[in-house]
Amino acid sequence: MDYRERDTAARTVTFGDPFAMSKAFQSLFDEGMALVEEAAAFLDGPGREQSRFLPRIVALAYSTESMRLTTRLMQIASWLLMHRSVASGEMSAQEAAVQKCRIHAEPVSQSSPDLFEQLPEDLKRLIARSLRLQKRIRHIDRPETAPALIEDPSDNAVAKQQDRLRMAFSKSNA
């Protein structure tokens, strides 16, 4: 364990156990995993067949969007599985924090609108659903809504700098 892992482990408290044990999380988990399975079935079956009949440039957009979809769903599945592992005790909160499995990827822009419109409707629906699910998870995982990762706020370097600035500006206004 290097110094960064020790530092993270020392400051980490809960990672979301209450949420990961809730009915809301179970519903989110079920929805996310069902979407992963549905997308895989589509891309391996009907989607593969439909893509064979697309014009070359649209087929390229299909490939690009299906890779983006797959990547997004794998990030979502990783996040869901990690939270479930922490809640079930299979993984400690410290291990989860060190692994940094949270969804960090910013939403990637889609292919040009005219190409995107030519994609199979089923693929466009899967993409839309995955983006909505990603948005919900990113909202849950935002620092202001996620469980605190800093045990002692006085150990937070950013908070210390903000306090210094507040003090400096309050003195100048007095």
Structural domain including 90 reads 3-173
Domains held by the chain: number: 1
pLDDT tens figures, 61-98: 999 999 999 999 999 999 999 889 888 888 887 887 77
Threshold 0.75, pTM exceeds: no
pLDDT tens figures, 134-174: 999 988 877 655 544 334 445 566 667 777 777 777 765 55
Q: What is the DSSP string of the chain?
A: --HHHHHHHHH----SHHHHTSHHHHHHHHHHHHHHHHHHHHHHTHHHHHHTTS-HHHHHHHHHHHHHHHHHHHHHHHHHHHHHHHHHTSS-HHHHHHHT-S--PPPPPPSPHHHHHTS-HHHHHHHHHHHHHHHHHHHHTSTTTSPP--S-GGG-HHHHHHHHHHHHHHHHH-
Q: What CATH number is given to the structural domain containing 20?
A: 1.10.8.930
